[in-house]
Structure 1
Amino acid sequence: MTETAHAVRTAERDCPECGKPVAEGGQYVTWCAACDWNVDPEVRDEEPPGRIERVRRRLAQRYGEQLLADLADPAAGAEPGAADGARPGTRLGVAGRFATALAVTVHGVTVALLAGGLWLLVGCWGRGALPVLGGFLIGLAVVLRPRFRRLPKDESHRTVLRPADAPRLFALLDEVAGTVGTAGVRAVVIDAEFNASVSTHGIRQHRVLRIGLGLWEVLSPQERIALLGHEFGHYAHGDTRHSLLVGGAFQSLGTWRYTLAPAPAHTLVEHFANLVTAVPRLLVDGLLVLLEHLTLRQSQRAEYLADSTAAAAQARRRRSSRR
């Protein structure tokens, strides 16, 4: 018995995360019950983050720490307009205005490509290769144009609901949206994902709520209200990344970056093509980093405020159900 106890003690070691003793699992996975170290030891083949993603993570960490300090000291983190009753997060601020101007510039380049291509194609017809260049510019503008999301169609794994299909559900959505100070949705997409989100579709930017049954079914009624309040809160608190202008600029820049990405070079021509696209590629990377920097803090703040809105919607629903 003593030898067995000694063997167990010698099989123990300290957790590298929290320092608590953990027993060797033998043929099973060794993990720490105190901090969950090594609970999921699977090694995933994930690609290392690129330059843009590394910058995004650093900015997110820095801004997250600043927001934590603001929320811990509401007086220090108060936004302009909070004292006069305005909803926090609805004003753009200096960074938001710069982000809007940058987004307009990005879309302006696409419009300029289209206009220049049409001028070369129509105005310079018959003048050598100029019309061909015009056709190329038009095609480039079409590729780089901002794209509007489409409302998904009913499929075997997905159902699209309209107000006439589920009037009680849409009445609840309108109530929650009104509580947080924004508009409701035109459609609800039900699928099997463990997620929920609100997005827009079409030129008129109608809102659609996506509900994953995997998430919806595990939530209590009050937790569902909080979830809806959080999703609608993104629009109530002025998250510019959900806007048509700035969100479309992110999409266009992403398309530019994909188009200019270097290809594996095996010939002299391919090396030359990568060299020619290097400068515009670096310019696009810089624009993406700048737009990320200008919008990240407001986006993170809107995320926190969406949580606050969710709690308010939950509390209001609870009070109304008691009446």
Structure 2
Amino acid sequence: MPVDPRFVVWCAACGWNADPEAGVRRQDTGLFERVRSGMARRHGEQLYAELARAEPGAGRPAGGARVLASLLALLVHGVTVALAAAGLWLWLLTARWGEGLQPVIGVLLLGLAVLLRPRFGSTARLRKSETVLERSDAPHLFALLDEVAAAVGTRGVDIVVVEADANAGVRTHGLRQRRVLWLGMSLWAVLSPQERVALLGHEFGHYAHGDTRHSLLVGSALRTLGEWRYVLTGFPTTSLLEQAAGLLTLLPRWGVQGLILLLDQATLRSSRRSEYQGVFRK
């Protein structure tokens, strides 16, 4: 096969250039990320094979997985509530007695609870920090979104965030679960009209086919776990003091990584199912 050194080689071994940097990431990422990537790949291949054979109940998320995901999400939020309650108790009940460091520890626990609080997102913040389209800004685009969403079996989005990346995705923000479509213009510009419809159908499938990762309970727990991981690993380890801090956070860090893996496994089937069913319905 002719090879041009200026470009990434397209071949079966590299997955036809679908993800040319995957090999680099596998070398640079840690054990947990490699395990997550392997689980996602195996699960996706299995689910695709089931849907392609049109087996009865193919790709249907197991009820036990949904229950497990909800219990894990409640556990995550319960830890935050426990930190806040312990902080309040140490600060309010013992501060008046002046018992050493207990009030200080209480304040630290309250601060940690605030840092690790559930993140539900806010469309108001998106409007301040991103390029946002409302219905009045792009009525034809929103008419297309509503039409595709109705064909998939769901409703459209409330706002569209326009960005430069070659990507697209849907999210939910706030307690009211307002729907947001993230649309990368560098991807949108190169697609044909029917390819754009297919892309939108794929993304709306997350809403239509029960992707638990977009639910209020589980979605906020995943974001909270991301904050936990950042707090425990988001510092350098160059000095001896920093290395000692890294050792002290080793067990909590592994515990958080384990929770992420469990929640990933519990929600993986519904997430992949929503994507593949969007493809198979088109």
Pairwise TM-score range, normalised by the shorter structure: 0.7 to 0.9
CA distance in 2, matches of 1:78, 1:111: 38
Q: What is the Cα-based RMSD across aligned positions, in Å? A: 3.2
User: CA 1:279/1:122 → structure 2, altered by over 3 Å: closer, same or farther?
Assistant: same
Q: 1:150 aligns with which of 108, 122, 126?
A: 122
> Aligned to 2:80, which of 104, 110, 132?
110
Structure 2-normalised TM-score?
0.83
Residues 1:183 and 2:148 aligned together = no
Structure-to-structure mapping, 1:97-176, within 5 angstroms: 97-125=67-95, 126-151=98-123, 152-153=126-127, 159-176=131-148
Alignment-mate amino acid for residue 294 of structure 1: A
Cα distance between partner residues in 2 of 1:33 and 1:42:
12
Instruction: Tell me which residue corresponds to 1:233.
Output: 205
Distance in structure 2 (CA, Å) of the matches to 1:198 and 1:102: 23
**1:52-71 aligned within 5 A:** 52-71=32-51
C-alpha contact (below 8 Å) 1:159/1:189 kept by paired residues: yes
Q: Which residue number in structure 2 is paired with residue 255 of structure 1?
A: 227
Please name the residue that 1:10 is paired with.
none
Q: Which amino acid aligns with 1:289?
A: L
Instruction: Tell me if structure 1 keeps the 8 A contact 2:170–2:181.
Output: yes
Give how far 1:265 is off. Answer: 5.5
Tell me the CA shift for residue 104 of structure 1: 0.7
Q: Which has the higher helix share?
A: 2
Indicate which of 233, 239, 252 corresponds to 1:266: 239
Q: What's the offset of the Cα at 1:134? A: 0.8
The one-character-per-residue Cα deviations of 1:166-218 (angstroms, maximum 9, x if unpaired) are 22322222222122222211112233332222222233221122222222222
- Tell me the SS of whatever aligns to 2:170: strand
**Unaligned regions of 5+ residues in structure 2, if any?**
none
- From 244, 254, 270, the equivalent of 1:282 is 254
Match of 1:73 in 2: 53
Q: Is the 8 A contact 2:131 2:163 kept in 1?
A: yes
Aligned to 1:12: none
Residues 291-306 of structure 1: pairs in structure 2 closer than 5 A? 291-306=263-278
CA distance in 2, matches of 1:171, 1:186: 12
Q: Which amino acid in structure 2 is aligned with residue 295 of structure 1? A: T
SS at match of 2:108: helix
Q: How many residues align?
A: 273
Unaligned segments of structure 1, at least 5 residues: 1-21, 80-87, 312-323
- Opposite residue 58 of structure 1, the aligned amino acid is G
Change (3 A) 1:98 1:164: same
| Displacement after TM superposition at 1:114 (Å) | 0.9
- Compared with structure 1, are the counterparts of its residues 183 and 68 closer, same or farther at alpha carbon in structure 2 (3 Å cutoff)? closer
Q: Would you say the 8 A contact 2:212–2:267 is kept in 1?
A: yes
Per-residue deviation, 1:140: 0.5
Compare CA radii of gyration and give the structure with the larger one. 1
Paired amino acid for 1:107 = H
Find out whether 1:213 has 2:192 as its counterpart: no
* TM-score normalised according to structure 1 size: 0.74
Q: Distance between the aligned counterparts of 1:74 and 1:272, measured in 2? A: 54
Please state how far the C-alpha of 1:33 moved relative to its aligned partner.
8.9
SS in 2 for 1:69: helix
Q: Is the 8 A contact 1:146 1:252 kept in 2?
A: yes
Counterpart CA distance in 1 for 2:150 and 2:22 is 45
Contact 2:203–2:275 (CA under 8 A) maintained in structure 1: no
Once the 2 structures are TM-superposed, how far is the Cα of residue 43 of structure 1 from its aligned partner? 12
In structure 1, C-alpha distance between the alignment counterparts of 2:245 and 2:10, rounded to whole Å: 54
SS at match of 1:209: strand
In structure 1, distance between residues paired with 2:38 and 2:30 = 12
Does 1 or 2 have the higher relative contact order (CA < 8 Å, sep 6+)?
2
